[in-house]
Copies of this chain bind each other. A is one copy, B any other.
């Protein structure tokens, strides 16, 4: 729980620190927190393990940094997306959003892997797990038009967004596993994921305006 990392240099000489962060993201995503050793990360970057500690301190520190970094990336991506789908009808908005988010996450599968392993797998010596669904869940609900109020998104709508996001996360994180099982190639798989998500997720919201209250 030490909090002493060197000040940013603001040059591109920051590279080592960032390289560590990137390698850590990939490895924590692939093997989980306990499955990743500081030496593995250091080896991937090509530095000594003590250099890693110099830059980031405790392993848990680095892990937290990875999580924050990922949430940040995702938040930015979603803001971009919001600009694109703004104003479109709900079903169309959903379709575009699913397509865009899916593409993005398939390009950066470490993101979903870290998120899921953080949500589902506990860490020993349970630290101050700042457990919380990132605020962007509410933002998504708002962007999608499920909720008219950005702050006061109802639990019900948050759950709906979670369902959508979880479905995408699962297919991205489980790509290796599912593809090996189904025996298909990457692009086939990605196309199939989109197709399936559209088939399953869209209809529920398609007639949302009319059916919302009737459905519950």
A85 within 8 A of B: no
Contact of A132 among B120, B173, B180, B215 (CB under 8 A): B180
Contact present for B181 and A133 (CB under 8 Å) = yes
Q: Name the prevailing secondary structure of the A interface residues.
A: helix
Chain A 174-203 interface 0/1 with B at a Cβ cutoff of 8 Å (1 = within): 101110111010000000110111011111
Stoichiometry, as copies per complex, reads 2
- Chain A residues packing against B (C-beta within 8 Å): 30-35, 113, 116-117, 119-124, 131-133, 155-156, 158-160, 162-164, 166-167, 169-171, 173-174, 176-178, 180-182, 184, 192-193, 195-197, 199-204, 206, 215-216
A–B Cβ pairs within 8 angstroms, 24 of them: A30-B121, A32-B32, A32-B34, A34-B35, A113-B120, A119-B177, A120-B170, A120-B177, A131-B180, A132-B181, A133-B178, A133-B182, A155-B182, A158-B182, A160-B200, A162-B196, A163-B196, A163-B200, A164-B200, A166-B174, A167-B170, A200-B200, A201-B204, A203-B204
